[in-house]
Each structure stands twice: as structure tokens, then as C-alpha cells.
A = this chain, B = another copy of it.
Amino acid sequence: VKPAASLAIATAAVALALPASAEFAKPEDAIKYRQSALFVMAQHFGRIGAMVNGRAPYDGAAAVTSAEIVADMSKLPWAGFEPGTDKGGNTRAKPEIWSAPAKFKENSEKLPVETIKLLAAAKMGNLDTLKTAFANTAGVCKSCHDTYRKD
């Protein structure tokens, strides 16, 4: 492979690995977007957590509503980590997100997979099932935070 072709292939690979850029008008918007989506998700995930941890009474319908919102929201934050958004707002995101984007993408894609299971568990209407799915989802949150979020 000639150098020019090799560069073209490398560029194409990067284009596939990274989210489409310029989706946000400015880095602050991307940062606020991902934080907003994560905050809305966390509020609803926390309500399920309160039920499974006994801090709130188990309410099957409310658990499903929250799990639906968690599942929807879990797909959104990642687009907000577009290149150039490591700075420009009040962010705790670590440089590893952008220095090894394929690894970050692989990690971030685990969340929607897990939250679909959480929603399925909520729909079963069984607190023990919900407890297990909640713990598995919380594990995915924690793993990503441990690696990619500053203390």
C-alpha cells in the first residue's frame, strides 16, 4: 500500500471510530449536552436504586417509567464527547476518552445494552430481578467513571 492510500485508509478508520464532528455549535454545548443527558439518566436510575435499596417503596409502574427514560438517555451522552470537547466547559472527562477513542466507544456501548436489560427486568415486575439488573447497570456506570472521570 502506497503512503497516500495508507493515509486515506487511516483517515477513513478514524472517521468510523469517532462520532460525527461539528454536531454542536461549540465545545461548551457538547459538554453541557452530555452532562445534561447523564443528569436526567442519573435522576431516574437513582429512583430505581432507591427502590432496590429499600430507601423507597417498590412501585412497579414508576420503575418501568424510570427504566424507559434510563434506556432512552443511555444512548445520548456519547455524541457529546466529540473531538475538541476535552476543554471548553466544566468537565471531569479524562484525556483517555480522546487519546484512545475506540476503547471509550467500546465501553460506552455497554451501557445501552445493559439498560435495555434493566428495562426488561423492570417490566417483569419482580423486585429481585430488578435488583440484579440494577447492580449490573451500576457496575457499567462505575467501570466507566473509574476509567474516564476525574475525581
Given A69-B76, A72-B72, A76-B69, the answer on whether A40 and B43 have CB atoms closer than 8 Å is: no
Check A32/B39 contact, CB under 8 A, given A69-B76, A72-B72, A76-B69.
yes
A24 proximal to B (CB < 8 A): yes
CB <8 Å contact, B29 and A33? no
Contacts of A76 in B (CB 8 A): 40, 69
A37 part of interface (Cβ distance < 8 Å): yes
In the assembled complex, the Cα of A43 lies from the Cα of B76 at a distance in Å of 12
Name the prevailing secondary structure of the A interface residues: helix
A36 at the interface (CB under 8 A from B): yes
Query: Can you tell how many copies of this chain the complex includes?
Result: 2
Q: In which size bucket is the chain A interface?
A: 10 to 19
A39 partner residues in chain B, CB cutoff 8 A? 32-33, 36
Q: How far is the CA of A43 from the CA of B25 in the complex (A)?
A: 9
Residue in B closest to A66 when the chains form the complex, CB atoms: B23
CA A76 to CA B36, docked complex, whole Å: 12
- What is the interface of chain A, defined by CB distance below 8 A to chain B? 23-24, 29, 32-33, 35-37, 39-40, 43, 47, 69, 72, 76
- Can you name 17 A-B residue pairings with CB atoms under 8 Å? A23-B47, A24-B43, A29-B43, A32-B39, A33-B39, A33-B40, A33-B43, A35-B36, A36-B36, A36-B37, A36-B39, A36-B40, A37-B40, A40-B40, A40-B76, A69-B76, A72-B72
